[in-house]
Structure 1
């Protein structure tokens, strides 16, 4: 994030004085993609992604756990597919290089896809005990209260 915060204003300054940096746009796009993937992994560890635990809490206790587990299976399935596909892309792009910085391999740039997916999977796995506990007892331990709130 710091590199992006430095690189973007630097690119603007150089463009303003008529000495545009050839690599500015490409590097900014790459840094933003990296920030997105690695930030998503951090959000997965901190359980910061959008979710609806209150929706699960509305259901009877017997259905909460299966629904929560189904949601986790779908999340894991998606990121396993993303990691596999990302790895496959690396093989296809093995000989390609950036346009503005030909000494940098596209493989290096695109490695964020499988690495980010694996980091997100690790973050999700670390949170499975909390997901299980919330599903068994309702979100925050008051599933019935949440169900009453949501029904209004």
Structure 2
């Protein structure tokens, strides 16, 4: 059940991130094209900045789901059991706690921004554009918790996500070198 939810969320986050990246690319190309012909758009840089923030939050949640944020697996695996698992638990509680505070603070920010609109697009509420703060924080927490059981098992078994990935890359490079 968890793996199906995890895979579904991964797909949604991947597509959301791709669509946001394509949207940002289109907005920047259109904005630059208009600027080149001497007819600058007043809104493109503001919308581009918002899209970049949204990409960052959705991408961060996706990275959390795949456990691809900067980590210290090697250091963690050097800690003897059962302290290793205590350290992992402390790290997880710290990360989830931080994002819980971010989500709550983000909700407070949205209340403060009530009634505000973008400068260049006065019909677009700032609350909508900044809603990514609490939404992204909650998504990060969900992704962190969904990926925790597998990571917990790997850490308990003394296996590193980083080492496995590095070994695969090295093996792939050796195979490419032999083929040449």
Fold-level match, TM-score > 0.5?
Answer: yes
**Is the CA contact (8 Å cut-off) linking 1:83 and 1:117 kept in structure 2?**
yes
Structure 2: runs of 5 or more not aligned: 1-20, 162-180
Which of residues 7, 11, 27 in structure 1 aligns to 2:47?
A: 27
The superposition leaves residues 72-109 of structure 1 with CA deviations (integer Å, 9 ceiling, x where unpaired) of 00000000000000011000001110000000000000
**Within 5 A, what are the aligned runs for 1:12-51?**
12-51=32-71
4+ runs deviating over 6 angstroms: none
Matches within 5 A, 1:2-151: 2-140=22-160
State how far apart, in whole Å, the 2-side matches of 1:110 and 1:63 are: 40
Shift, 1:10, TM fit = 1.1
**Mind listing any 5+ residue stretches in structure 1 that lack a counterpart?**
142-152
Using the TM superposition, give the Cα deviation of residue 140 of structure 1 relative to its aligned residue in structure 2, in angstroms. 4.1
Aligned-pair RMSD on alpha carbons? 1.2
Q: Do the aligned residues in 2 keep the contact of 1:41 with 1:120 (CA within 8 Å)?
A: yes
> Higher relative CO (CA 8 A, sep ≥ 6), structure 1 or 2?
1
CA distance in 2 between partners of 1:38 and 1:127 (Å): 16
Tell me the distance in 1 between the aligned counterparts of 2:59 and 2:155: 26
- Given that residues 77 and 160 in structure 2 are in contact (C-alpha distance below 8 angstroms), is that contact kept between their aligned partners in structure 1? no
